[in-house]
Amino acid sequence: MSSTTSDIQAKLAGFSTCEISDAMIKLGSPNGGYIPDINQFSPSGNETRICGPAYTVQMVLGSNKDAPKLSSHFVDTAPAGSVIIINAPDKVKNAVWGGLMTAGAKSRGALGVVISGRCRDLAEHRDASFPVFARGHSTLGQSPFTRPSEVNIPVIIRSSDVSEEDFPAVRVEPGDWVVADEDGVVCVPVTKAEDVISLAAKGREVDARCMEDIKAGKGVQETFKKHRGK
């Protein structure tokens, strides 16, 4: 019998992003679901982990007059309980998320924001204890450099410094599970969530046995061969 959505969310939230990536690799994912180069900027400390369905936002260059335009601000339409995923154009130096957006997202019940791009107003995010994960930060705001174009569409997030041949892009569909913590950000397709949970649980058990043996003085190679078969 399949789990409910809330069950899946609770179980996924119990695993680290590292455990989830390991499970994704075992399922044949070429990138382990890892959304590269994105790290935690807020809140301070290492206790934060968010897990929720993706609400996607595609940004375009401000000079792009052909791309669609939104009728409402994307923060105003963010569903409660969602993780906002923003995909900004490559190599732009401006922020696409600031303190006012954090205030709006928090008031609407969003769990956090993951930005393939930059944020600003770091102190405001931290004062609000709102989870912000990004590739970097800036003093510059959106205008006139970028603008939001579409929401709730599939977004393709690429590495900032290597080719897709070296590290395949991650496709995030609206509603996919996004988990983020101090180690990074992963995306779990809805169709793979239950298999990821099962494999992550098994991986945790194996790692616990490895840790016990290594702390007891056994060699890492010997331990890996015993418990992992390699």
In angstroms, the CA 73 to CA 151 distance is 10
211 falls within a domain: no
Domain count, the chain: 1
Q: Mind listing the pLDDT tens digit of every residue in the chain (230 residues)? A: 457 999 999 999 999 999 999 999 999 999 999 999 999 999 998 889 999 999 999 999 999 999 999 999 999 999 999 999 999 999 999 999 999 999 999 999 999 999 999 999 999 999 999 999 999 999 999 999 999 999 999 999 999 889 999 999 999 999 999 999 999 999 999 999 999 999 999 999 999 999 999 999 988 888 888 887 76
Is position 28 annotated in a ligand binding site? no
| 3-state secondary structure at position 62 | coil
Is position 101 annotated in a ligand binding site? yes
151 falls within a domain: yes
- Residue 32 belongs to domain spanning: 3-188
Is position 111 annotated in a ligand binding site? no
CATH number at residue 38: 3.50.30.40
Is position 136 annotated in a ligand binding site? no
User: 90: buried, middle or exposed (CB in 10 Å: 19+, 13-18, 0-12)?
Assistant: exposed
Predicted TM-score of the model (pTM): 0.94
208 falls within a domain: no
CA angle 184, 158, 135 (to 5 degrees): 45
45 falls within a domain: yes
In angstroms, the CA 150 to CA 124 distance is 26
Give exposure, 30-62, as e/b (b: 16+ Cβ within 10 Å).
Answer: ebbbbbbbbebbbbeeeebbbbbbbbbbbbbbe
Residue carrying the six token digits 């991986």: 203
Is position 217 annotated in a ligand binding site? no
Is position 24 annotated in a ligand binding site? no
226 falls within a domain: no
